[in-house]
């Protein structure tokens, strides 16, 4: 017994109706999809990190071994080669590691400078600023350090941009305070990439001091979280890949021993 093409269409369109599964007519939710997006991004970053680690290991091995003979010519293998000159750096590379949370503040108005007094301590500080709604300009001061200009709010990809600032302990001698202010006005992130936003930073913050001084408080939910952070430990003659240049560098601590900069 045969069927027609239109019967096949009917079967395909009605297929699964009687299998007892509830709710499949609704499809999937946007929230489910965005959860999956985050999982994919996490996996991609992990993969990229693993590849980078393998590359670092490969480069380090190759460098420490002085290179491998290119062919089977034994004379090439036994001839001495000059050691490659590796640039040195006195600061260990890598992101600071967050420790405990020591202060936080939740605010409902923008346009004013909010200050957090941090208790005593010798560690460096890491500051995260979270803003609700569209992208906005934020100024962050950590200790005696210079004002940092950053953006927070919903980024061009629809995900929140969070400000992450760190300040070494050497800038905190004048007082362990953290303050931040959200400037009035929003930034239209539609259609812009992160790189384009970064390029426009100078223009976004032009005359920010006057804008902040003249700003009227406006409703906005935002928050500041301060954590103690510790920088990677400096150890002499350790080789690292500089993430900014992609070049191999050698650590030379200059008598700092195993003390991370900015930490006791």
Please tell me whether residue 8 binds another protein under the rule CB under 8 A. Answer: yes
- Figure out which of the listed residues 28, 65, 68, 80 binds another protein, where binding follows CB under 8 A: 28
- Figure out which of the listed residues 13, 120, 173, 237 binds another protein, where binding follows CB under 8 A: 13
Contact partners, residue 53, CB within 8 Å, separation at least 6: none
Using the 8-state DSSP alphabet, how is residue 254 labeled? T
How near is the Cβ of 43 to another protein at its closest, in Å?
Answer: 11
How near is the Cβ of 134 to another protein at its closest, in Å?
Answer: 12
- Category of 254 on φ-ψ map: left (φ > 0), alpha (ψ -120 to 50) or beta: left
What would the two tokens of residue 137 be?
């300009």
| 27 SS3 class | coil
Element (H, E) at 154: strand 148-154
Give 13 or 85: the residue with its C-beta nearer to another protein.
13
How near is the Cβ of 34 to another protein at its closest, in Å?
Answer: 8
How near is the Cβ of 97 to another protein at its closest, in Å?
Answer: 29
Contact 129, 180 (CB under 8 A): yes
Q: Tell me the CA distances in angstroms from 158 to 66, 133, 154, 200, one per residue in order.
A: 48, 10, 6, 19
Q: How would you classify the pairing of strands 163-167 and 97-110? A: unpaired
Q: Per CB under 8 A, which of residues 165..224 are in contact with another protein?
A: 190-191
Element (H, E) at 32: helix 30-64
Query: DSSP per residue over 119-145, as a string?
Result: -S--SEEEEEEEE-SBEEEEEEEETTS
How near is the Cβ of 55 to another protein at its closest, in Å?
Answer: 24
Site stretch for another protein (CB under 8 A), options 35-43, 91-99, 119-127, 243-251 = 35-43
Q: Per CB under 8 A, which of residues 139..168 are in contact with another protein?
A: 158
How near is the Cβ of 40 to another protein at its closest, in Å?
Answer: 5
Site stretch for another protein (CB under 8 A), options 39-47, 73-81, 96-104, 233-241 = 39-47
Give 16 or 243: the residue with its C-beta nearer to another protein.
16
Q: Catalog residues that contact another protein under the rule CB under 8 A.
A: 1-5, 8-9, 11-13, 15-16, 19, 21, 24-30, 32-37, 39-41, 158, 190-191
């Amino acid at each position: 017994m045969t069927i027609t093409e239109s019967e096949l269409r009917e079967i395909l369109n009605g297929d699964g109706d009687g299998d007892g599964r509830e709710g499949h007519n609704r499809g999937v939710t946007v929230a489910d999809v965005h959860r999956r997006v985050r999982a994919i991004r996490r996996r991609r970053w992990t993969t990229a990190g693993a590849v980078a680690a393998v590359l670092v290991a490969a480069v380090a091995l190759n460098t420490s071994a002085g290179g491998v003979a290119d062919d089977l010519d034994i004379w090439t293998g036994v001839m001495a080669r000059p050691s490659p000159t590796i640039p040195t750096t006195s600061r260990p590379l890598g992101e600071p590691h967050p420790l405990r949370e020591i202060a936080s503040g939740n605010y409902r108005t923008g346009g004013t400078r909010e200050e957090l007094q941090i208790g005593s301590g010798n560690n460096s500080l890491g500051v995260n600023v979270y803003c609700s709604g569209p992208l906005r300009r934020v100024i962050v001061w950590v200790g005696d350090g210079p004002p940092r200009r950053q953006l927070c709010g919903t980024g061009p990809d629809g995900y929140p941009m969070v400000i992450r600032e760190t300040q070494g302990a050497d800038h905190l001698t004048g007082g362990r305070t953290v303050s931040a202010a959200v400037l009035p006005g929003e930034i239209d992130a539609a259609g812009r990439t992160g790189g384009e936003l970064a390029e426009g930073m100078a223009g976004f913050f032009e005359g920010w001091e006057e804008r902040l001084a003249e700003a009227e408080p406006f409703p906005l939910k935002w928050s500041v979280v301060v954590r103690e952070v510790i920088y990677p430990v400096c150890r002499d003659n350790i080789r690292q890949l500089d993430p900014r240049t992609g070049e191999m560098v050698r650590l030379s601590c200059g008598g700092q021993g195993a003390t991370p900069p900015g930490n006791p």
